[in-house]
Amino acid sequence: MTADALSTELVALSRAIHGTPELAYQERTAVKNIVALLAGHGHKVEQKLGGVETAFRAHVGPTGPAVALLAEYDALPEIGHACGHNLIAMSNVGAFLLAAERAKELKVGVELIGTPAEESGGGKIDLIDAGVFRDSVAVLSSHPSGDPDWEFGGSSLGVVTKRVTFHGVAAHAAFSPHLGRNALSAAIRLFVAIDGWRQHLPADTRVHGIITKGGAAQNIIPELAECDIGLRAATKEQLDAMQRTFAEMAQGAAMQTGTTVDIVDDMRMYAPVKPSARIGDLLAEELKRRDLPTVRGKFVLASTDFGNVSQVAPADYIGFPVSEKSIPGHSHVMRDSSATDLAHRNAMITAEILASAAVRIASDSALREKLRA
């Protein structure tokens, strides 16, 4: 089976996932389509992996330790597959099927792991907690890029998200506003504080958020306001310091308005990506063999739960272009670009590269020793 022979099926899979966007932990149709494709090629699939409904695993080669290929397939609210996870699924499913054609060469297994909820929730963290990556000798994956270069060996920001709830007192906004305590005013003060804070933060940090609740009606003093805030930094130490300052700012906004505030973690921390230099060398060879323009070690000002996996196993991923010019991620342009012929062509090339790298690791004991070192 060649990549060309698989291309029609894999592009159909990508288009099906792209056309039916599903949010975190709800990716049932995507999983159904992937499982059907794998079964059609004779592979058994372990579903509800690690107790997560929309996680799965397929394995080829010897049981036990394995090289893991990670598929993603969740979408973003409202704008669908504006991060191109349909292509991550396509390229990693393709890589697994291509690697399976060389099963006789494998000294350890190669497995495809379906990892839901990357955009929100951290499905990979669930699977780490369940011990799924305990026997992973290496972890490979992919991600579509809004830039025109091929990328590998990149790192990223860690992120935590906070749900901030201000509690006030309702009152008639015209007749007796002095008897109320405005929770929305507290939320606005928090955002003003964040705007002032940004100019004093390092360049490799980010703070961003939205107000999700701000009151019931214009003539009622809002008794409740709710915000979702993301904090990002390049190191856990910087992220911890930012969380402490942020908590003080939220308390200050509450104090100014006579309200109270609750802060809870809305999502577990996504750790910064820690790429394996050894895997990076291997990917560099594969990319060079295909004469692709590459960038190594790019620092990405975004976050992913792939970072958590990279902290527990040697890992790296390929970033591949979906456009001939730079476009913004998490946008309608990125969504549309993730279903083009160019995107699918590059996803197929990525599948070939990942398959070749996975087989090389799984069949070369000396290479695996270097990864362990």
User: Could you tell me the domains of the chain?
Assistant: 3-156+272-372 (3.40.630.10), 158-269 (3.30.70.360)
- Residue 373's pLDDT band (boundaries 50, 70, 90)? confident
pLDDT for res 361: 98
Say yes or no to pLDDT of 3 above 80: no
H helices of 63-106, where?
85-100
pLDDT for res 108: 98
260-270 vs 158-167, strand pairing mode: antiparallel
Per DSSP, the three-state class of 320 is: strand
**Alpha carbon distance, N-terminus to C-terminus of the chain:** 34
pLDDT tens-digit readout, 269-288: 999 999 999 999 999 999 99
Say yes or no to pLDDT of 335 above 80: yes
Q: What is the pTM of this model?
A: 0.91
pLDDT for res 5: 83
d(C-alpha 59, C-alpha 148), whole Å: 33
pLDDT for res 2: 72
Percent of the chain with pLDDT over 70: 100
Are 211 and 226 spatial neighbours (Cβ–Cβ below 8 Å)? Answer: yes
- How confident is the prediction for the chain on average, in pLDDT? 96
d(C-alpha 104, C-alpha 62), whole Å: 10
The dihedrals phi and psi of 200, each to the nearest 5 degrees, come to -105, 5
- Residue 221's pLDDT band (boundaries 50, 70, 90)? very high
- Residue 60's pLDDT band (boundaries 50, 70, 90)? very high
pLDDT for res 346: 98
d(C-alpha 71, C-alpha 354), whole Å: 12
pLDDT tens-digit readout, 253-270: 999 999 999 999 998 899
CA 309 to chain centre: 11
pLDDT for res 43: 98
